[in-house]
Amino acid sequence: MTPDTHFKEGLAAGEIRLQRCAACDTHIFFPRVLCPACHGTDLTWVTASGAGEVYTFTTVRQRPERGGDYNVAMVELAEGVRMMTRVDGDPQAVKVGMPVTAYVGDIDGTPAVLCRKSEA
Amino acid sequence: MDHALRGKSAIVGLGVAGLGEAPGYTSWDIMAQSAQAALADAGLALKDVDGLFCAMMEDSMPVLMAAEYLGIRPRHVDGTLTGGSSFVNYLASATAALDAGLCDVALVCYGSNQRTASGKLVTASRLPPFEAPYKPRYPVSGYAMAAQRHMHQYGTTREQLADVAVAARGWASHNPQAFMRDPITRGDVLAARMVSDPLGKLDCCLVTDGGGAIVLTRADRAKDHAKTPVYVLGAAAESTHRQISQMPDFTVTAARESGKRAFAMAGVKPSDIDVLQLYDAFTINIILFLEDLGYCAKGEGGAFVEGGRIAPGGALPVNTYGGGLSCTHPGMLGIFTIIEAAHQIRGTAPGLQLDGVDLALAHGNGGVLSSQVTAILGSEATL
Ligand SMILES: [Zn+2]
What is the pLDDT, as a whole number, of residue B126? Answer: 76
Chain A residues touching residue B130 (CB < 8 angstroms): 29-30, 83-84
Rounded to whole angstroms, the Cα distance separating B375 from B235 reads: 4
What is the pLDDT, as a whole number, of residue B119? Answer: 66
Rounded to whole angstroms, the Cα distance separating B142 from B375 reads: 25
Beta-carbon separation of A60 and B136 below 8 A: yes
Smallest CA–CA distance from B198 into chain A, residue: A58
Q: How many CB atoms lie within 10 A of CB B51?
A: 24
Rounded to whole angstroms, the Cα distance separating B65 from B55 reads: 10
What is the pLDDT, as a whole number, of residue A119? Answer: 83
Half-sphere exposure of B28 (CA within 13 A, CB side): 13
CB-closest option in A70, A82, A107 to B245: A82
DSSP class per residue in A4-33:
HHHHHHHHHTT--EEEEETTT--EESS--S
What is the pLDDT, as a whole number, of residue B127? Answer: 82
Q: Torsion angle of alpha carbons B172, B174, B176, B182, nearest 10°?
A: 60
Rounded to whole angstroms, the Cα distance separating B89 from B93 reads: 7
Q: Say whether residue B161 is in contact with chain A using an 8 A CB cutoff.
A: no
Which residue intervals of A1-120 are DSSP H helices?
A: 3-12
Average pLDDT for chain B: 96
Rounded to whole angstroms, the Cα distance separating B380 from B358 reads: 8
Rounded to whole angstroms, the Cα distance separating B150 from B232 reads: 33
What is the pLDDT, as a whole number, of residue B122? Answer: 63
Q: What angle do CA B181, B183, B189 make, to 5 degrees?
A: 110
Rounded to whole angstroms, the Cα distance separating B209 from B17 reads: 9
Beta-carbon separation of B133 and A110 below 8 A: yes
The Å distance, Cα A31 to ligand 1 centre, comes to: 13
Task: Count the helices and strands in chain B (H runs, E runs).
Answer: 11, 11
What is the pLDDT, as a whole number, of residue B234? Answer: 98
SS3 A115: strand
DSSP β-ladder status, A51-60 and A99-107? antiparallel
SS3 B43: coil
Instruction: Of B216, B230, B235, give the one whose Cα is nearest residue B108.
Output: B216
Distance from CA of B370 to the nearest CA of A (A): 16
The Å distance, Cα A46 to ligand 1 centre, comes to: 15
Mutate to test the interface with B, among A84, A92, A114 (most CBs of B within 10 A): A84
Task: Report the percent of chain A where pLDDT is more than 70.
Answer: 99
Average pLDDT over residues A53-82: 97
Per-residue pLDDT tens digits for B257-288: 999 999 999 999 999 999 999 999 999 999 99
Beta-carbon separation of A60 and B130 below 8 A: no
**How far, in Å, are B79, B327, B333 from residue B322 at the CA level?**
27, 5, 12
Q: How much is the pTM?
A: 0.97
Rounded to whole angstroms, the Cα distance separating B222 from B44 reads: 12
Rounded to whole angstroms, the Cα distance separating B129 from B240 reads: 18
Q: Which of residues 111-130 of B touch A (CB under 8 A)?
A: 130
What is the pLDDT, as a whole number, of residue B121? Answer: 62
Q: Which amino acid is at B343?
A: H
CB-closest option in A56, A85, A107 to B149: A56
Q: Which amino acid is at B183?
A: P
Q: Which amino acid is at B370?
A: S
Q: Say whether residue B248 is in contact with chain A using an 8 A CB cutoff.
A: no
For chain A, the first-to-last Cα distance in angstroms comes to 39
Contacts 24+ apart (CB under 8 A), B42-45: B42/B12, B42/B13, B42/B215, B42/B217, B42/B225, B42/B226, B42/B227, B43/B13, B43/B225, B43/B226, B44/B12, B44/B13, B44/B105, B44/B215, B44/B225
Per-residue pLDDT tens digits for A5-25: 999 999 999 999 999 999 999
Q: Say whether residue B194 is in contact with chain A using an 8 A CB cutoff.
A: yes
Smallest CA–CA distance from A97 into chain B, residue: B152
What is the pLDDT, as a whole number, of residue A5? Answer: 96
The Å distance, Cα B132 to ligand 1 centre, comes to: 27
Rounded to whole angstroms, the Cα distance separating A86 from A72 reads: 5
SS3 B165: helix
Smallest CA–CA distance from B149 into chain A, residue: A56
Contact, B348 vs B17, CB < 8 A?
Answer: no
On the question of a cis peptide bond just before residue A29, with omega within 30 degrees of 0, the verdict is no
Beta-carbon separation of B136 and A84 below 8 A: yes
Instruction: Of B143, B180, B87, give the one whose Cα is nearest residue A60.
Output: B143
Beta-carbon separation of B131 and A84 below 8 A: yes
Rounded to whole angstroms, the Cα distance separating B253 from B317 reads: 21
Beta-carbon separation of B145 and A86 below 8 A: no
pLDDT in tens, chain B (383 residues): 589 999 999 999 999 999 999 999 999 999 999 999 999 999 999 999 999 999 999 888 999 999 999 999 999 999 999 999 999 999 999 999 999 999 999 999 999 999 999 766 666 567 888 999 999 999 999 999 999 999 999 999 999 999 999 999 999 999 999 999 999 999 999 999 999 999 999 999 999 999 999 999 999 999 999 999 999 999 999 999 999 999 999 999 999 999 999 999 999 999 999 999 999 999 999 999 999 999 999 999 999 999 999 999 999 999 999 999 999 999 999 999 999 999 999 999 999 999 999 999 999 999 999 999 999 999 999 99
Q: Say whether residue B144 is in contact with chain A using an 8 A CB cutoff.
A: yes
Quote the ipTM score: 0.97
